[in-house]
C-alpha cells in the first residue's frame, strides 16, 4: 500500500532514487541540493538502499564517477545545483555521447555573479546543448514520480540518454508538501533492473569506451545522439501513459495543457510558476477571461508539435522564462519562436523571478493581461517584457 507523507522536494528526490533501486551514487554537497545526498547516505547507512555511495571531492568528480559507474552497467545517480552543475559542464557531454542513462536532479539555483542561493534557471538552461534530456517539475510529488520515470525513459533502448531533473531551489527543495510514496513492488514492476547491453565494463566481454576519436567517426556519433533525443519524444509520451496506468497520476506527456480548450491566449510556463499560474488561470476564467496555460514539462527534447498545435488555436501566446540569454530573451521564448516560425500571432516573452525573486499572483496576472491586450491589438507593444524589475516599464 502506498503511504502519504509531508516531505521536502529534496527528500522526494532521494526517495525516488531509493525506489528506483539505484546501485551507485556520487555525492558532493551544494546548497540547496545537499539534503538529497544526505538523505541518500542515511538510506544507505540504514540498510534501506543497497548502493555504493561515494563521497567525491568536487562536482566534476561526481559526474566523472557516475559516468564510470554507469559504464560498468549499474544504475547511477547524483545531484547538484548551480555552480556545481557549471563545474560539471565538461563531463556532461560524456554520458550523452556514450549513451549512459544517468539520472540527476538539479536544484535550480542562480549562477554567480552576483552570488545567491535562490532559484534561477541560468544553471540548467546553458546545459541544454549537452545532450541531456531536461525536465522541469512543479511540485514534490512530481519530483518523486519523475525520478522513477526518468530512469524508465533514459534506459529505453531507443533513447539511452542521461536525464536532468530541474527542480526549483527552496520553492521545492526546502518546502514540505504531502507526497504519496508508491509501493516498492509497484515501482519494481514499472521499472525493472537495468541491463546494459551496448556498453559495459566486464572482463569477459572487453570493450573500449570513450577512446580518442578522429573526425571519421564523431559526426555519426552526433547524428546518433540527435536521433535518440528525437526518439525520446515518443518514449516520454508512452512512459507518461504507463506511469498513469500504474500509479494513477497522469502528467500529460511532453507538455500538460491547462484550460486551453477555448482559450484566446495561452501562457507557456515551466517549474513551480506553473503551479501558481493554475490558480491565476482559474481566477481569470471566473472573471470570464479566456486564458489558458501550457506546462512545459520537457525542454529537451523540445515539444515542437505540441506547442505549435496549441498556438494555432489562440490569438496570442507568451513564454515565461526564469533566465535570460542576454540580448535575445529567455531560452523558452527563443525555442518557442522557433517552434512557431511563420505563425502570424503575437509571441511574447515574460521574464520574472530571476535570482529567486518571488513570482506573485499579480505578476502572473499581468502576463495574461499583456497577452490579452496583444490579442486585441493583433500585436504586442513589447515582445520581451520584464515583470517586476524596478525602474523598467513592464
- Contacts with another protein by CB under 8 A lie at 4-6, 113-114, 117-119, 138-139, 168-171, 174-178, 272-273, 275-276, 278-279, 356, 358-361, 389-392
Residue 278 C-beta: closest distance to another protein, Å: 5
Q: In terms of CB distance, is 280 or 347 closer to another protein?
A: 280
User: Shortest approach of another protein to residue 175 CB, angstroms?
Assistant: 4
Minimum CB separation of residue 47 from another protein in Å reads: 17
Closer to another protein by CB, 9 or 318: give it.
9
Q: Which is nearer to another protein, 331 or 356 (by Cβ)?
A: 356
Q: Provide, rounded to whole angstroms, the least separation between the CB of residue 273 and another protein.
A: 7
Residues whose CB falls within 8 Å of the CB of residue 70, separated by 6 or more in sequence, listed in order: 24, 76, 95, 100, 101, 102, 196
Closest separation in Å from C-beta 248 to another protein: 15
Q: Shortest distance, CB of residue 138 to another protein, whole angstroms?
A: 8
Q: Which is nearer to another protein, 176 or 343 (CB)?
A: 176
Closest C-alpha among 84, 224, 79, 239 to residue 161: 224
Q: Is 158 or 282 the residue whose CB approaches another protein more closely?
A: 282
Q: In Å, what is the CA distance from 23 to each residue of 62, 72, 95, 99?
A: 15, 11, 17, 18
Closer Cβ to another protein, 98 or 281, answer by number = 281
Nearer to another protein, 78 or 110 (CB): 110
Q: How far is the CB of 208 from another protein (least distance, A)?
A: 47
Considering the complex, what minimum distance in angstroms separates the CB of residue 358 from another protein?
Answer: 5
Q: What is the rounded distance in angstroms from the CA atom of residue 308 to the CA atom of residue 266?
A: 12
| Residue with Cβ nearer another protein (51 or 281) | 281
- Report the residue number, 155 or 168, with the smaller CB distance to another protein: 168
Taking the complex as a whole, the smallest distance from the CB of residue 44 to another protein amounts, in Å, to: 17
Using alpha carbons, list the distances in angstroms from residue 124 to 120, 219, 229: 9, 25, 17
Amino acid at each position: 500500500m502506498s503511504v502519504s507523507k509531508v516531505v521536502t522536494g529534496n527528500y522526494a528526490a532521494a526517495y525516488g532514487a531509493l525506489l528506483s533501486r539505484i546501485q551507485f551514487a556520487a555525492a558532493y554537497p551544494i546548497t540547496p541540493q545537499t539534503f538529497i545526498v544526505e538523505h541518500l547516505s542515511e538510506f544507505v547507512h540504514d540498510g534501506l538502499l543497497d548502493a555504493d555511495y561515494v563521497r567525491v571531492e568536487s562536482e566534476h568528480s561526481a559526474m566523472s564517477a557516475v559516468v564510470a559507474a554507469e559504464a560498468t552497467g549499474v544504475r547511477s545517480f547524483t545531484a547538484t545545483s548551480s555552480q556545481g552543475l557549471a563545474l560539471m559542464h565538461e563531463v556532461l557531454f560524456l554520458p550523452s555521447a556514450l549513451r549512459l542513462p544517468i539520472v540527476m536532479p538539479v536544484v535550480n539555483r542562480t549562477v554567480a555573479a552576483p552570488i545567491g542561493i535562490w532559484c534561477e534557471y541560468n544553471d540548467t538552461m546553458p546545459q541544454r546543448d549537452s545532450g541531456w534530456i531536461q525536465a522541469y517539475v512543479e511540485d514534490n510529488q512530481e519530483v518523486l514520480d519523475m525520478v522513477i520515470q526518468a530512469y524508465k525513459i533514459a534506459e529505453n533502448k531507443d533513447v539511452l540518454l542521461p536525464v536532468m531533473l530541474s527542480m526549483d531551489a527552496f520553492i521545492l527543495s526546502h518546502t514540505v508538501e504531502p507526497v504519496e510514496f508508491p509501493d516498492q513492488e509497484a515501482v519494481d514492476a514499472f521499472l525493472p533492473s537495468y541491463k546494459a547491453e551496448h556498453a559495459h565494463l566486464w572482463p569477459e566481454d572487453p570493450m573500449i569506451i570513450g577512446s580518442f576519436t578522429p573526425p571519421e567517426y564523431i559526426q555519426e556519433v552526433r547524428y546518433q545522439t540527435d536521433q535518440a533525443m528525437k526518439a525520446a519524444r515518443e518514449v516520454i509520451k508512452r512512459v507518461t501513459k504507463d506511469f498513469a496506468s500504474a500509479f494513477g497520476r497522469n502528467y500529460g506527456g511532453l507538455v500538460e495543457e491547462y484550460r486551453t480548450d477555448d482559450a484566446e491566449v495561452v501562457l507557456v510556463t515551466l517549474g513551480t510558476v506553473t503551479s501558481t499560474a493554475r490558480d491565476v488561470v482559474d481566477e481569470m476564467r471566473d472573471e470570464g477571461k479566456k486564458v489558458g496555460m501550457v506546462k512545459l514539462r520537457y525542454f529537451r527534447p523540445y515539444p515542437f508539435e505540441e506547442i505549435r498545435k496549441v498556438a494555432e488555436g489562440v490569438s496570442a501566446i507568451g513564454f515565461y522564462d526564469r533566465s535570460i540569454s542576454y540580448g535575445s530573451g529567455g531560452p523558452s521564448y527563443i525555442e518557442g519562436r522557433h517552434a512557431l516560425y511563420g505563425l502570424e500571432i503575437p509571441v511574447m516573452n515574460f521574464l520574472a523571478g530571476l535570482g529567486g525573486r518571488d513570482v506573485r499572483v499579480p505578476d502572473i496576472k499581468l502576463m495574461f493581461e499583456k497577452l490579452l491586450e496583444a490579442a486585441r491589438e493583433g500585436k504586442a507593444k513589447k515582445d520581451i517584457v520584464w515583470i517586476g524589475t524596478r525602474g523598467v516599464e513592464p
